[in-house]
């Protein structure tokens, strides 16, 4: 497995990966972890993941403000009588976004919310859905390259698929925010009405823990949905939790933390780019998000490829040994 395989064998392996996905990606079937890591490392360069992530970052930021437009139009109708919901949502968004970029997003958020109406909501939802589906179409292209498959779906079929998955992902992300907001609401209710104080503290802790556990489960589901529907493989197999999704999520969380620290300690973007500094920070954050998403897909695909390659080589060797025995 350490020796390079021929291009012909590579095509054969990726064709088998497309037609016969593995039932589990956690068992390496005798392949060493180091071998799998090396395949992932070389795959990152062969598939040009860094450039693909930059493309995704552009589409993500392109889809952000139409999505923000629609979301804030809806929240604007609620926030007038529920400022707590508005403030809680902003607080949770600020956990992921760097503060410098959050300021730009927040200003846009407030401007749009202050003039929300039903017409803007309808238009914003339509534009948001189309823009976000363009982003998912870019994910489809990236995962097709990672899985070494060509896009055989028609433009209309691929775009309708992208729109459908975008709607599903939007529902999942809404549920994630709803879990956090619901846990926050239960915590405020327990703090105000539950006595003694110790029981209230326990309820608040449980509500927060359950809320974040649901967020993690839904985030894993988001990755699973993307990895299942995006690549144009011949047969897709559903995996709830994969090594790629696990590494991608943990890497994304770590990248967000480190990027926040870097921006806080060494914020040279404003000095270099002036008023565009916040946009550059936001674009960089989206780049990191796209990179981790593609990294997870690369890990999953290379695990399938290296295991399939091992099985193919063992089968060919056994066939050759059988032929040699018959000739002897």
Distance from C-alpha of 214 to C-alpha of 264, rounded to nearest angstrom: 30
15 assigned to some structural domain: no
Looking at the predicted structure, is the pLDDT value of residue 2 above 60? no
pLDDT digit string, tens, across residues 255-312: 988 888 887 777 666 666 666 777 788 888 889 999 999 999 999 999 999 999 988 8
97 assigned to some structural domain: yes
Looking at the predicted structure, is the pLDDT value of residue 81 above 50? no
| Phi, psi of 34, rounded to the nearest 5 degrees | -65, -40
Q: What is the pLDDT of residue 116?
A: 54
Q: What is the pLDDT of residue 326?
A: 64
Which of 6, 8, 17, 54 has the alpha carbon at shortest distance from 311?
17
Residue 196 preceded by cis peptide, ω within 30: yes
pLDDT classification of 86: cutoffs 50, 70, 90: low
Residue 75 near residue 87, CB atoms below 8 Å: no
Residue 132 near residue 166, CB atoms below 8 Å: yes
328 assigned to some structural domain: no
Q: What is the pLDDT of residue 245?
A: 95
pLDDT classification of 209: cutoffs 50, 70, 90: very high
Domain count, the chain: 1
Tell me the two tokens of residue 101.
Answer: 């970029």
Q: What is the pLDDT of residue 125?
A: 66
Q: What is the pLDDT of residue 327?
A: 64
245 assigned to some structural domain: yes
pLDDT digit string, tens, across residues 137-175: 889 999 999 999 988 888 888 888 888 888 888 788 778
Q: Containing domain of residue 308, as a range?
A: 23-314
The chain-wide mean pLDDT, for the chain, equals 81
Q: What is the pLDDT of residue 130?
A: 76
Looking at the predicted structure, is the pLDDT value of residue 321 above 70? no
Distance from C-alpha of 83 to C-alpha of 275, rounded to nearest angstrom: 29
17 assigned to some structural domain: no
Q: Which residue has the higher pLDDT, 88 or 74?
A: 88
Looking at the predicted structure, is the pLDDT value of residue 118 above 60? no
pTM for the predicted model, two decimal places: 0.85
193 assigned to some structural domain: yes
Distance from C-alpha of 172 to C-alpha of 174, rounded to nearest angstrom: 5
pLDDT classification of 28: cutoffs 50, 70, 90: confident
Residue 104 near residue 278, CB atoms below 8 Å: yes
192 assigned to some structural domain: yes
Looking at the predicted structure, is the pLDDT value of residue 246 above 80? yes
Q: Which residue has the higher pLDDT, 79 or 110?
A: 110
9 assigned to some structural domain: no
Looking at the predicted structure, is the pLDDT value of residue 87 above 70? no
* Lowest-pLDDT range of 92-106, 152-166, 200-214, 271-285: 92-106
Q: What is the pLDDT of residue 67?
A: 59
Looking at the predicted structure, is the pLDDT value of residue 68 above 70? no
pLDDT, mean of residues 14-43: 91
Percent of all residues in the chain with a pLDDT value above 70, rounded to a whole number: 75
């Amino acid at each position: 497995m350490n020796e390079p395989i021929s291009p012909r064998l590579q095509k054969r392996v990726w064709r088998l990966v497309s037609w016969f996905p593995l039932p589990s990606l956690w068992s390496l079937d005798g392949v060493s972890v180091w071998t799998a890591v090396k395949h992932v490392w070389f795959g990152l360069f062969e598939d040009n993941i860094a450039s693909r992530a930059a493309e995704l970052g552009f589409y993500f930021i392109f889809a952000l403000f139409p999505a923000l437009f629609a979301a804030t139009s809806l929240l604007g109708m609620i926030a007038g009588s529920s400022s707590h919901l508005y403030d809680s949502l902003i607080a949770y968004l600020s956990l992921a976004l760097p503060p410098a970029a959050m300021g730009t997003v927040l200003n846009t958020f407030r401007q749009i919310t202050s003039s929300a109406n039903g017409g803007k909501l309808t238009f914003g939802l339509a534009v948001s859905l189309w823009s976000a589906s363009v982003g998912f179409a870019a994910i489809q292209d990236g995962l097709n390259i990672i899985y070494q498959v060509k896009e055989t779906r028609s433009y209309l079929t691929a775009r309708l698929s992208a729109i459908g998955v975008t709607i599903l992902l939007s529902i999942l992300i809404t549920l994630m925010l709803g879990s956090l907001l619901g846990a926050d609401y239960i915590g405020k209710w327990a703090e105000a009405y539950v006595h003694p104080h110790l029981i209230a503290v326990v309820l608040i802790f449980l509500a927060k823990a359950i809320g974040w556990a649901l967020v993690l489960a839904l985030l894993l589901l988001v990755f699973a949905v993307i990895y299942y529907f995006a690549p144009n493989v011949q047969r897709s197999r559903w995996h709830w939790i994969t090594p790629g999704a696990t590494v991608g999520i943990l890497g994304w969380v770590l990248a967000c933390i480190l990027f926040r620290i870097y921006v806080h300690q060494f914020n040279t973007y404003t000095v270099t780019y002036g008023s565009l500094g916040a946009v550059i920070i936001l674009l960089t954050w989206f780049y990191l998000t796209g990179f981790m998403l593609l990294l997870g897909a690369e890990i999953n695909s290379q695990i399938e490829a290296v295991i399939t390659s091992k099985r193919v080589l063992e089968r060919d060797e056994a066939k050759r040994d059988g032929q040699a025995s018959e000739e002897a």
